[in-house]
Amino acid sequence: MESLADLGSLAQASAIWEQNYNPFDNIFISALVAAVPIVFFFVCLVGFKLKGYSAAFLSVALASLVAIFAYDMPILKVLYSLLYGVLFGLYPIGWIIIAAIFLYKLTVKSGYFDILRESIITITPDMRLQVILIAFCFGAFLEGTIGFGGPVAITAALLVGMGIKPIQAAGLCLIANLPPATFGAVGIPVTALANLVQVDALKISAMSAIMLAPFSFCIPFLLVFLLSGFKGMKESAPACFVAGASFIIAKIITASFFGPELPDITAGIVSITALGAFLKVWKPKNIMLAENKSVQGVDSKIAQDSLDSKVLTESLNAPKPRTISIKQTLLSGAPFGILIFIIVIWTQDWFNALFASGGALEFLTLKFSFKELSEIYQVAPIVTESKAVKSLFEIPLVNSVGSAIFLAALCTAVILKIKPKVALSAFSETFKEMYLAVVTICLVLAFAYVSNYSGISATLALALSKTGESFIFFSPIVGWLGVVLTGSVTSSNVLFGSLQQLTAGQLGINEVLLLSANAIGGATGKMISLQSIAVAASVVGLVGKEAQVLGYTLKYSLILALGSGIACLITAFVFPSIVP
């Protein structure tokens, strides 16, 4: 008779569930089945014009059925995967959105947003160049410091307040996020990838910056083209050139010599400084003004374009100081200056060590472990050795991006002398206006986690890896797919990094090229990822109209993803010597 210990070991072994990436014994048939939930989601949004939360809910249900019946994933593990995704949608993503909009609302209600807008106009009154300064330059800086959806939320809200139409503000900020998204917050996507595959982070950092250069240079031109057409782009070409050139020079130098932590930050600072200095001596022949420049209320053309955009309405109706002094100008920038200062502290190793295991403030990080998820194992060829998926969910109450933004908002309320009643009202309004957006984000993350933990995502990547040398072209597409599914370049890198490394070895090419391609391709997918679309739509008042935002960015994401594939091919066969 078997001992109790033997029975216990047998029960534990039977509880382990290994992912099966080829459930139909034909990788291409398996990939077709795996693609069904993703295609269904986009059809619901674009074809049937369903609201984002409706499309996400139906897609979550379909993905769960595919996981259970096609991938034989235990029902309990499916449910826990969904729960993990919902929790991640609430924290940190949902918390970031709530905090960012709260900060923005305080600035608007104080009356200082108009002063900030006037300060930007003193640099340039041209709306096209304001978009470059805010979405491209400032957005890159924010991506390098906070990441996790915060940059798109903050810059899109700023553009709406400047008079940009909500759909344009959301779309332009998503597109502008491409160059910095590869490196993300303090280089986390590249660092995580390097640690996973045991490759020098400096090599991946340098290669990523080099391959990103043509895309980074072209983004300012593309943003202006989308706002004002070819003629407007031609008029603004010198400024676009300065912004793009200064951005890539700073990024390549920083990434090549200092690693992945600072490229976005330095590129953002250098480009905004260079463009600001250039605009002191040059201006376009014709000035393109924001449409709400002379508007006093919500009957404006722009407001009519988005009647449900309460954020926009508030910015149009915000009280305007009669005079603008130097003190008021400095105070108008205080919210973002405070945010930058706090983020600098939040990114310090000594600060994070306080909240790490064994740190003095460890108790301020809540931890929840899900046993059912710890029994899900990734296997070869996605990973070199079998390992369990992430099952520990952490809630860092203090040292998180959302908490940093929220603290900046509280400091803003004090410095701008906003009455507690007004601040509480702003926070309450934020919750009321954003709850549907947070629900949508939670559903999207639930979809992402059940796709990842069931093996659906890996099946699609493996199918592409079977294309031989053509995989050099498809390598960035794998990264693109990973971000479309997960909403995160970091997640995509961790999910498919080993696959890229193994395939590079089989093809006999430098692994650094394909690893970098995964990160760059991921950045091209960020602008249409379900999570990013939900975030962008929420902050400009387009909750339930995510299909409009997706329609704005979809073709550019596809074009840029294909372009990254071509760039990878050219690098591999024409300029292989530039790969570190």
Highest mean pLDDT among 177-186, 227-236, 333-342: 227-236
H or E stretch at 358: none
Number of other residues whose CB lies within 10 A of the CB of residue 102 = 25
Q: Determine if the pTM surpasses 0.75.
A: no
Q: Does residue 411 have a pLDDT over 60?
A: yes
Average pLDDT of span 49-64? 88
Q: Does residue 56 have a pLDDT over 70?
A: yes
What residues make up the domain containing 388?
18-578
Q: What is the pLDDT of residues 533-576, one digit of tens each?
A: 888 888 888 877 888 888 899 999 999 999 999 999 999 998 88
Average pLDDT of span 472-498? 82
Residue 517: both structure tokens together = 């391609």
Q: Does residue 300 have a pLDDT over 50?
A: no
Average pLDDT of span 422-443? 86
Q: Does residue 337 have a pLDDT over 80?
A: yes
Average pLDDT, whole number, for the chain?
A: 84
Surface-to-core class of residue 354, CB atoms within 10 Å of its CB (0-12 exposed, 13-18 middle, 19+ buried)? middle
Q: What is the pLDDT of residues 69-94, one digit of tens each?
A: 999 999 999 999 999 989 988 887 78
Q: Does residue 314 have a pLDDT over 70?
A: no
Tell me, yes or no, whether 12 lies in a domain.
no
Tell me, yes or no, whether 10 lies in a domain.
no
CA–CA separation, 334 and 356 (whole Å): 30
If you ran DSSP here, which 8-state letter would residue 308 be given?
T
CA–CA separation, 209 and 257 (whole Å): 11
CA–CA separation, 62 and 154 (whole Å): 33
Tell me, yes or no, whether 47 lies in a domain.
yes
Q: How confident is the model at residue 196 (pLDDT cuts 50, 70, 90)?
A: low
Give the max Cα distance, the chain.
91
Question: How are strands ordered across the β-sheet holding 376-378?
Answer: 17-18, 376-378, 387-388
Q: What is the pLDDT at residue 243?
A: 95
**In sequence order, which residues have a C-beta less than 8 Å from that of residue 485 and are 6 or more positions away?**
38, 447, 448, 451, 452, 457, 492, 529
Question: Is there a contact between 52 and 534 (Cβ–Cβ < 8 Å)?
Answer: yes
Tell me, yes or no, whether 11 lies in a domain.
no
CA–CA separation, 577 and 476 (whole Å): 20
Domain count, the chain: 1
562 compared with 258, residue with greater pLDDT: 562
CA–CA separation, 42 and 26 (whole Å): 25
Q: Does residue 11 have a pLDDT over 70?
A: no
Tell me, yes or no, whether 383 lies in a domain.
yes
Question: Is there a contact between 518 and 474 (Cβ–Cβ < 8 Å)?
Answer: no
Tell me, yes or no, whether 404 lies in a domain.
yes
Tell me, yes or no, whether 5 lies in a domain.
no
